Structure 1
Amino acid sequence: MGKFCKCNGRLLCMCLLPFMMTGHLLVYILVTIFVTISYTPPKTPVHFIAPGSSSSSAKMAPHPLNPFWNLRQIDTALWNHLQHGCDRLYNPLLRGNTSIATQLTKTRLVWCMSDCMPEVGLHTTSNKVKSMSDQMRAFVSSMHCREYPYIINQPGLCSSNETLDTPLLLMAIKSQSGNLENRQAIRETWGRSGHVSGEYNIRGGLVRTVFLLGKQEYKPNSKIHDLLEKESKTYGDILQWDFNDTFFNLTLKDVLFWRWFQQYCPKAVFVFKGDDDVFVRTDALVDYLNKQWEEHSLWQAYTNETDKGLDLFIGEVINNARPNRDPSTKYFIPESFYQGSYPSYAGGGGVVYSGSLALRLKEVSDKVSLFPIDDVYLGMCLSKLGVVPSHHPGFLTFDLPNTQRGNPCAYKSVLLVHRRNPREMIALWNHLRNLRMRCFR
């Protein structure tokens, strides 16, 4: 009898063992699920507080809160909406998908490519565009247009004299038809074409100057158009396109100039782009550029990367800027058009960049929707290329202090100052030449 009970107990244990193991497994699964649901990760300390602000710790670099345009779509701002479409269109991963690429091409291609198709300007009928200012509506209605015919062209400007070398510096100066006195003062002073000696006559380089113009509406019987044609025949340095020369269309002068540069002057080593109311110490700039080119040539020889161009871009760099939301200013950008901060950019009074970078800017500009502020747009194109503009203390686009403006020796370390009328340009040019030995030792 005892044997039988002992045997039955073993049999019972063997029968219950699978059920016990399954029960333990079930309890383990339930506990794991409960712990996972109830777990709260520890909070990570926030080191960066606001866009453009630096951390209090010296070990941490400044960190922008957001890029100047996001990969995600911002439907409430027109420019961001259009740029989102362009980014997707040129995304190599999406373009590999035939169905997605076809759909994107149909909806966004006309806004990203360079062809000007008037029928695309249907966005002007939307409520958000109707609420914009007249200036902004005019820009939006034509911001897809990037092809304009020449009224005046200078195809031989960089190759008119075969005995001269490739230009070291091409000066592209934004002007308007009526600013004849400004252009003439520039030709007689800092923008004179030809061989320019360095500051101490050690070395110089060939400089070519060209003025970038659109067209303007003139009063009846105005002689400005005739004077402009005569000016072009006399000096051969006027580039004019058939678009309205407005403040918001200054961006077009960059885009169209890059196309002209690629076709007619692609071997120029450096480009100066500026306004016709700045003053440039060209001899000092030539010295600086010669030094940059020599260092780049040495670097090419050392690394054996002779095909790699120089990505030089200098000016008075502005960081962490935001759109101007004051409707009373000419820089006003409404939230319905653009949201976000601006990329780093250089003040539009004057910048210098390498010719190889100018060619890259031409290519990337087709992938960046036009923006009505030209220096900001240039910063956008640089950001798209991954090029960081370099700040140079010699570029004073906001001018010298008032107490120093009349002192020629205060310009010893200056390469550019903004806001000079024609009379001031000529006077300053003469003062700097006469006092060179005394001020620049």
Structure 2
Amino acid sequence: MARCRCGGRALCLCLLPFLMMSHLLVYIMVSIFVAMSYTPEPQLPLHFVASGASSNSGALAPHPLAAFWNLRLVDGALWNRLQHLQDRQHNPILKGNSTGGSSPATGRTTVLGTGVSPPCGPDLLWASQLPDFNTMPEQMQDFVLSMHCRHYTLLMDQPDLCSGLDNESDTSMLFMAIKSQVGHFENRQAIRETWGRSGWVKEETGGKRWQVRTVFLLGRQDTTTGPHPDLGALLQLESKRYRDILQWDFRDTFFNLTLKDVLFWDWLSMHCPHAHYIFKGDDDVFVRTGALLDYLNEHHASSQGASNRAKRREDFLVGDVIANAWPSRQPATKYYIPESFYKGFYPTYAGGGGVVYSGALAVRLHEISQWVNLFPIDDVYLGMCLCRLGVLPVHHPGFLTFDLPEADRGKPCAYHRVLLVHKRSPKEILTLWRQLRPPLSEC
């Protein structure tokens, strides 16, 4: 190796940065070419999320320790293989490979980002990739056959639900989207008369008024679960009377609840993008709406000021956070997910009984959900989308998706620190609403 003599020391010092930069440039170019030419092997192992550090004592959920994007494929359950293809196509480093591709698991060609909806209906292609498909429960089989579909006709629409509110910039707005079913009229009516009433609603202690808009998310009545009376005409009357029904043309089953999230985000981005906060929940929960508005007002005030706080406000989601959960492998359970379909643990998510997130986050969820394959369990799917965005859900002890202790359920004072409790019948909702309306001084 040539040495620099004393007379040329200054010249060497000048050339040293250029030599270092040239080596770095060569390293970067080689890394990119290796990544571009990489073909995933089905036998290599993959987790959906990077392993993280738990922080159960804090307000934030566990966070990933490593970068989310991962070019390595890890052993292949069907969902993991399909999602791996999506990840490679939309990896920000590999933008040149984002127009389409062929799945290593199936050879099927996919065209992404074109806006063209694939034809919907049962498709046996993915089923052929599952050796245990014929032994799976019926709801799992149905999901696999239709998991490529995420565009469905809107049968009942409410395009004017938020009209006139976009000009009221000083008015805070909470949009309540509640998952229901055709036959659950009694649940919907109890909510309309109590915590989900649309219109002006006051905070419980602050006195500030919010605009609240409520809508119910429905699919088609599922005839495969047994004979049902035809309630179509009654639903039409209900929609005409209350103007708060969104219904899409898909079977309303437990594993199709994810579709309600995806289709609602699409509808919201078109018809109500100015909503400040969105509540998404089930029609068998009880919500202390005034107390929830108090909490949201406090959060809004505490998030203003510094730029990092403003960013946190945009990415805000709160609920009953569940971390380090694994799929159920018991075929008899409602939440059963076969290992041939999905491997790995679940990302941190908030219990599906009810969550609240910012309107800005709803827009981002709508965008990112296009690049996350549908998953049978809706609250886990929301967690997957949050993980894609790098958003950490906030845990709040007032979201009781697993209910109060049984001894406290009949005591009104036990609800004074509760924002949401699951689950309650229509009669219990009406009773609780009457009991908790006036402040109880003895509490």
Q: Could you tell me the TM-score, scaled by structure 2's length?
A: 0.78
Task: Say if 2:130 and 2:340, in contact at 8 Å, map to a contact too.
Answer: no
Instruction: Using the TM superposition, give the Cα deviation of residue 94 of structure 1 relative to its aligned residue in structure 2, in angstroms.
Output: 2.7
2:237 aligned residue: 230
In structure 2, give the amino acid aligned to 1:363: E
Cα distance in structure 2, aligned partners of 1:412 and 1:87:
44
- Paired residue secondary structure (2:371): coil
2:344 aligned residue: 340
Picking from 104, 116, 119, the partner of 2:118 is: 116
Instruction: Using the TM superposition, give the Cα deviation of residue 401 of structure 1 relative to its aligned residue in structure 2, in angstroms.
Output: 0.3
Instruction: Using the TM superposition, give the Cα deviation of residue 250 of structure 1 relative to its aligned residue in structure 2, in angstroms.
Output: 0.2
Task: Say if 1:94 and 1:101, in contact at 8 Å, map to a contact too.
Answer: no
In structure 2, give the amino acid aligned to 1:109: T
Taking the TM superposition and a 5 Å limit, the aligned residue runs for 1:381-396 are 381-396=385-400
- Paired residue secondary structure (1:212): strand
Cα distance in structure 2, aligned partners of 1:54 and 1:344:
10
Query: For residues 359-413 of structure 1, what are the alpha-carbon distances to aligned partners after superposition, in whole Å with 9 as ceiling and x for unaligned?
Result: 0000000111100000000000000000011100110000100111111011111
Deviates more, 1:402-411 or 1:71-80: 71-80
Instruction: Using the TM superposition, give the Cα deviation of residue 217 of structure 1 relative to its aligned residue in structure 2, in angstroms.
Output: 3.9
In structure 1, give the amino acid aligned to 2:242: Y
1:214 aligned residue: 219
- Paired residue secondary structure (2:406): coil
Query: For residues 306-357 of structure 1, what are the alpha-carbon distances to aligned partners after superposition, in whole Å with 9 as ceiling and x for unaligned?
Result: 8996111000000100000111111000000000000100100000000000
Cα distance in structure 1, aligned partners of 2:154 and 2:258:
16
2:328 aligned residue: 324
Cα distance in structure 1, aligned partners of 2:200 and 2:256:
32
Picking from 273, 290, 305, the partner of 2:297 is: 290
Cα distance in structure 1, aligned partners of 2:214 and 2:406:
30
Instruction: Using the TM superposition, give the Cα deviation of residue 126 of structure 1 relative to its aligned residue in structure 2, in angstroms.
Output: 3.5
Picking from 231, 234, 241, the partner of 2:248 is: 241
In structure 1, give the amino acid aligned to 2:262: V
Report percent identity of matched pairs: 56
Deviates more, 1:128-137 or 1:374-383: 128-137
Cα distance in structure 2, aligned partners of 1:259 and 1:220:
32
Asked if 1:438 is matched to 2:441, the reply is yes
Cα distance in structure 1, aligned partners of 2:433 and 2:347:
35
Instruction: Using the TM superposition, give the Cα deviation of residue 433 of structure 1 relative to its aligned residue in structure 2, in angstroms.
Output: 1.2
1:84 aligned residue: 84
Cα distance in structure 2, aligned partners of 1:287 and 1:138:
42
Cα distance in structure 1, aligned partners of 2:81 and 2:352:
26
Cα distance in structure 2, aligned partners of 1:103 and 1:259:
25
- Cα RMSD over matched residues? 3.0
Task: Say if 1:344 and 1:379, in contact at 8 Å, map to a contact too.
Answer: yes
Cα distance in structure 2, aligned partners of 1:433 and 1:247:
33
1:5 aligned residue: none
Taking the TM superposition and a 5 Å limit, the aligned residue runs for 1:42-191 are 71-96=71-96, 103-104=101-102, 107=108, 109-110=110-111, 115-118=117-120, 121-128=124-131, 129-159=133-163, 168-191=173-196
In structure 1, give the amino acid aligned to 2:139: Q
1:280 aligned residue: 287
Query: For residues 64-114 of structure 1, what are the alpha-carbon distances to aligned partners after superposition, in whole Å with 9 as ceiling and x for unaligned?
Result: 7999996422453110010001001112333325xx965459845358877
- Paired residue secondary structure (1:122): coil
Mark the runs of 5 or more structure 1 residues left unpaired by the alignment: 1-50, 56-60
- Seen in structure 2, the aligned counterparts of structure 1 residues 367 and 103 have a Cα distance that, compared at 3 Å, is closer
Query: For residues 108-166 of structure 1, what are the alpha-carbon distances to aligned partners after superposition, in whole Å with 9 as ceiling and x for unaligned?
Result: 53588772324865222344233432211110111111110110000000116789666
- Seen in structure 2, the aligned counterparts of structure 1 residues 137 and 264 have a Cα distance that, compared at 3 Å, is same
In structure 1, give the amino acid aligned to 2:441: R
Task: Say if 1:69 and 1:80, in contact at 8 Å, map to a contact too.
Answer: no
Cα distance in structure 2, aligned partners of 1:121 and 1:297:
51
- Seen in structure 2, the aligned counterparts of structure 1 residues 112 and 198 have a Cα distance that, compared at 3 Å, is same
Cα distance in structure 2, aligned partners of 1:220 and 1:376:
31
Task: Say if 1:82 and 1:108, in contact at 8 Å, map to a contact too.
Answer: no
- Seen in structure 2, the aligned counterparts of structure 1 residues 66 and 134 have a Cα distance that, compared at 3 Å, is farther
Cα distance in structure 2, aligned partners of 1:323 and 1:371:
12
- Seen in structure 2, the aligned counterparts of structure 1 residues 363 and 433 have a Cα distance that, compared at 3 Å, is same
Cα distance in structure 2, aligned partners of 1:410 and 1:358:
32
2:276 aligned residue: 269
In structure 2, give the amino acid aligned to 1:259: D
Instruction: Using the TM superposition, give the Cα deviation of residue 257 of structure 1 relative to its aligned residue in structure 2, in angstroms.
Output: 0.3
Cα distance in structure 1, aligned partners of 2:137 and 2:228:
31
Alignment: residue pair count: 379
1:14 aligned residue: none
Cα distance in structure 2, aligned partners of 1:352 and 1:52:
24
Task: Say if 1:343 and 1:383, in contact at 8 Å, map to a contact too.
Answer: yes
- Seen in structure 2, the aligned counterparts of structure 1 residues 54 and 163 have a Cα distance that, compared at 3 Å, is closer
Taking the TM superposition and a 5 Å limit, the aligned residue runs for 1:388-407 are 388-407=392-411
- Paired residue secondary structure (1:361): helix
Cα distance in structure 2, aligned partners of 1:438 and 1:108:
66
